[in-house]
Amino acid sequence: MTQLTSKHSNSPEDDLPNQQRQAATSSLSAKGSQVSKVSSWLVPLAYALGQYLVLPLYFRRVDVIGQEWLPKSGPVILAPTHRSRWDALMLPFATGVKVTGRNLRFMVSMDEVKGLQGWFIRRLGGFAIDTLKPGIASLRHSIELLQQGEMMVIFPEGNIFRDRSVQPLKAGFARLALQADAGGITENKLGVQVVPISLTYSKRFVPWRSSVQIRIGKPLEVHHYCTGQAKQDAKVLTEDLRNSLQTLLTESCEALDLSQP
């Protein structure tokens, strides 16, 4: 029988965000853009199917460690490693409404929002960005979501990688986080937090009855990196995030008795 476990303590932040605000529709304002929103009926249905049917049937064991680090309010960017298509189901299970009271807003590539799949992604809170030529409108939409206090998911490595070491992170990730935080209206900036998350599967191609460990690390507070030197700030934030991800990944590999890389 599949074991779904979570190891966490009470979060220091007890106030849950307004659920009506979390379910509000956010639109992309550019010409030819598509609507991104959180469906009030599809999200609970999809997450329930994933948690109680799909994951228990397919996986032998799913362990989640470190949920006490997940902020329950304020702008957050979840920054997970990307090892499988299963990541899109694992993250809501480990960090979503059942855990934090918050919906996840996934940033995805343009080729993932086509056809029927795109219809579901957009109604599950996802929105598209051209990874080769990021448009101003989609980047603005990302910043607006953070300014509204949403919890976003951005895979900083970009693509799926099957090996067990953290790949070089995309430079645009840190720039986006820094730009969003600088848009705050208080002296303490917006208060964006970046949460490193490692997803480690017992088998590289995740066959049936695999095990997975999801390890969540201490958030990085973006305002600590805002010194006014944009390139250097982005470089330091990127390095610290990569080091945090590598530490989490190494711990999970040891726990699953996996060799590296």
**pLDDT tens digits along 238-248:** 999 999 999 99
84-to-89, 160, 239 alpha-carbon distances in Å = 10, 6, 23
- CA separation for the pair 253, 261 (Å, rounded): 9
Residue found under tokens 């490692």: 198
Number of H helices, E strands in the chain: 9, 9
CB 146 within 8 A of CB 75: yes
CB 200 within 8 A of CB 206: no
Closest Cα to residue 199, out of 168, 161, 236?
161
Closest Cα to residue 90, out of 64, 116, 72?
64
- Domain extents in the chain: 3-9+24-255
Q: Residue range 119-140: average pLDDT? A: 80
Name the β-bridge partners of 194. Answer: 77, 220
Helix (H, G, I), strand (E, B) or coil at 153: strand
Summarize pLDDT for 56-95 with one digit per residue, the tens.
999 999 999 999 999 999 999 999 999 999 999 999 999 9
- In the structure, what pLDDT confidence band is assigned to residue 178 with cuts at 50, 70 and 90? very high
Q: What is the pTM of this model?
A: 0.86
Say which CATH topology domain 3-9+24-255 has. Answer: Glycerol-3-phosphate (1)-acyltransferase (3.40.1130)
Residue found under tokens 């056809």: 115
